[in-house]
Structure 1
Amino acid sequence: MSNWIENAVFYHIYPLGFCGAPVKNDFQSEPVERLLKILDWIDHFKSMGINALYLGPVFESAEHGYDTVNYFTVDRRLGTNETLKRVVMELHNNGIKVVLDAVFNHTGRDFFAFKNLQHYGESSIYKEWFYGLDFNNRSPLNDPFDYHTWDGHYNLVKFNLNNPDTSEHLFEAVKMWVGEFNIDGLRLDAAADLTEGFMQNLSTLTKELKKNFWLMGEVVHGDYNIWANKNTLQSTTNYECYKGLYSSFNDTNMHEIAYALKRQSGSGGVYKNIRLYNFLDNHDVDRIASSLHNRTHLFPLHILLFTMPGIPSIYYGSEWGITGHKGGYNDMALRPSLDLDSMYKENSDDLKSVIT
């Protein structure tokens, strides 16, 4: 029996934006089942041949989902655990696999172990859970200690994944996600910053939990073989070709993408044995319709996306060629709430027909 990923066509949704959730979590409101909106889009997914859905962060967080507070509870702005269970079940009933975003490199400042550290300082039983603690200095947010972060963002506290208790907490969450929600894979946020040992142990665990469970890592730079190999992950994001795809069309010179594809998958290609995750845009970069100088290039560009080696993915809304620019530290323009009926009424289906 073949692995489902061999024929996967992904649709990528950033749930908090897609569902129109409040920007910040008050941690008091009753859950609102906004995630059920996905069910209204299933026929749309199927009309394009989508058979796999990658959902951005869905677990309780303070703001954007990558500042996780509770790895075992669905964000109240999206619903409850039962909401997610229902969504996954309905997607499965329609032949669509589900991959969740896993944020394991860092956590939010409202995470229970970090709150304990703030209260007890060097006496905290959780001080080994976090990386780079320095009790001789204060953090920029006036904590009585400094700590390492993701990319200098102090609301994203870096985990110490060499600590067995930290890793076990996250692995228990994965067991729960597979057991309760029956998910089919994980996209590992900031995979380039995860330890090799953590990824190896995660790979071993998921292979035991579910056959053909898929692990894909977010990697921007470097040799993808470091992360995608028989001991760790099955795939990574293909940022090398992401850049080459749109810039080759903008420059009306296909050398860049041709070189990248030959290097990756040609004779002696460095990634011939890896199905890389290909995309034209996502929740972190400008919409492809905004990146291109000539909008008509959307059509041949999508044909190339679906014919090049690897796994194709469409970011929600880009099947209509919607625009959006990254704005400094604010990515809201890239993560809008969309109404399906309005999208059909206000946009041409020409590009969608090419994807189909």
Structure 2
Amino acid sequence: MGWIEHAVWWHVYPLGFCGAPIREEDPAPAPRLRRLLHWLDYAIELGTNGLLLGPVFTAGTHGYDTLDHFAIDPRLGNADDFDELIAACRARGLRVVLDGVFSHVGRSHPDLVRALREGRGAPGAGRFDIDWERREPRVFEGHDGLARLDHRSEEALDYTTAVLTHWLDRGIDGWRLDAAYSVDPAFWREALGRTRERHPGAWFLAEVIHGDYGAFAKASGVDAVTQYELWKAIWSSLADRNFYELDWSLRRHDRYVGDVGLNTFVGNHDVTRIATTVGPDGALAALAVLLTVGGVPSIYYGDEQGFTGVKEERLGGDDAVRPAFPDEPAQLAPWGERLHRAHQDLIGLRRRHPWLHSATTEALTLTNTEYTYRVSGGGEHLDVALAGTDVRILDADGGVLWHS
């Protein structure tokens, strides 16, 4: 699976990007997924070579409350629309990874509703984690609308494997496993092992928020985990003027680089926009760090244009960080051009130094507000000098390759 060493993902939340209604009752079906077709060349011109897509399956509201893992959400279109998107990505050399929720389903999932009505003997009932005395599903992290699967059951294992295989058969390259941290790693090892019998080249990314990344990957069999520790250190060190935090996290990051793939990022669908947290200059500095350390980086759509937005803990609190994009790139506002150009430059720099995928770092100078680290791999190195939000990237001879 050598292609992953060169992957830079453009991470898109399709329901938001395509302007689909999120909480309307009985929204009219529409082929909104086709809007992405107008943005594939944009993704390539940005420098990315893959789409990391958020939920596309039939769901109740935000997509993580799945109702049918085998069908495209009618708010986005149908199987034909999906197939056309995959074909267009293939024609451009873009890889595609889908977001799969196998920790839980929506409370109104038809098989769950039937099981609660008919009892243990209902078809598919064994797939769900149900308190049969109370005739109630056990919920995910206190969210009443999200019902847990029973990961001890063969039915849940068979179902998960069937879904993984179905969409790999239709042309995707891998999966992001949502809330993977909440599932017994042994379940993943068995499900992924079965799936790889048919698709040995599939790539599996697990959402893991904290803990021992290497131990989770080894136990579960996933190829990569989400690097939330580094995400936090990047924005926090810039916001708090404390590069000691970034240095500590990079040393910990280095321990994992050789053991497990690390999906690095400074923005995603669940967090406040980086440009909101540290401002546009800070966003540039964060991007420079992201693209000069080991890992498999992803760019969250809109970050490359300096989009802002605050994640809030309330109903609809994700909407600001999951906005609609215009119909085509020409309709973007011009004020994002500076950040867009920086993304192109820094992704290009990373492409010219492919050894950065598995590189490690060491501090050369370190104070609260100034930090120079050397990133090394394959007998080569670059130096990255941070002074507040000012950044310079130097080659081995001290020449400036990029500066903010």
In 2, distance between residues paired with 1:72 and 1:125? 17
* 1:174 matched residue in structure 2: 164
Instruction: Report the CA distance shift for 1:338/1:231 in structure 2 as closer, same or farther (over 3 A).
Output: closer
Instruction: Report the CA distance shift for 1:128/1:321 in structure 2 as closer, same or farther (over 3 A).
Output: same
**2:177 is equivalent to residue 158 of structure 1:** no
**2:325 is equivalent to residue 338 of structure 1:** yes
In 1, distance between residues paired with 2:164 and 2:120? 29
Instruction: Report the CA distance shift for 1:158/1:230 in structure 2 as closer, same or farther (over 3 A).
Output: closer
In 1, distance between residues paired with 2:210 and 2:336? 36
In 1, distance between residues paired with 2:262 and 2:331? 30
* 2:340 matched residue in structure 1: 352
- Among all aligned residue pairs of Structure 1 and Structure 2, give the percentage whose two residues are the same amino acid: 33
* 1:212 matched residue in structure 2: 201
In 2, distance between residues paired with 1:222 and 1:115? 35
* 1:142 matched residue in structure 2: none
* 1:141 matched residue in structure 2: none
Number of matched pairs: 341
Aligned Cα root-mean-square deviation (Å): 1.8
More displaced 10-residue stretch of structure 1: 294-303 or 37-46: 294-303
Instruction: Report the CA distance shift for 1:212/1:3 in structure 2 as closer, same or farther (over 3 A).
Output: farther
**2:309 is equivalent to residue 324 of structure 1:** yes
More displaced 10-residue stretch of structure 1: 331-340 or 202-211: 202-211
1:112 to 110, 113, 119: 110
**2:301 is equivalent to residue 303 of structure 1:** no
Tell me the secondary structure at the aligned position of residue 216 of structure 1: strand
In 1, distance between residues paired with 2:241 and 2:286? 12
* 2:354 matched residue in structure 1: none
Q: Deviations over 1:53-75 (max 9, x none)?
A: 10000010111111111111100
Q: TM-score, normalised by structure 2?
A: 0.80
* 1:16 matched residue in structure 2: 15
Tell me the secondary structure at the aligned position of residue 72 of structure 1: strand
AA partner of residue 267 (structure 2): D
In 1, distance between residues paired with 2:261 and 2:123? 42
Tell me the secondary structure at the aligned position of residue 349 of structure 1: helix
1:290 to 252, 273, 276: 276
| 1:90-239 paired onto structure 2 within 5 Å | 90-121=88-119, 124-136=122-134, 145-180=135-170, 182-229=171-218, 232-239=221-228
* 2:259 matched residue in structure 1: 273
Tell me the secondary structure at the aligned position of residue 297 of structure 1: helix
| 1:23-42 paired onto structure 2 within 5 Å | 23-24=22-23, 26=25, 29=28, 31-42=29-40
Q: Deviations over 1:106-129 (max 9, x none)?
A: 001222221112322455454432
Q: Deviations over 1:149-170 (max 9, x none)?
A: 1111111100002111122122
In 2, distance between residues paired with 1:311 and 1:3? 12
Q: Comparing both structures, which one devotes a greater share of its residues to strand?
A: 2
* Superposed displacement of residue 25, structure 1: 6.5
In 2, distance between residues paired with 1:195 and 1:202? 11
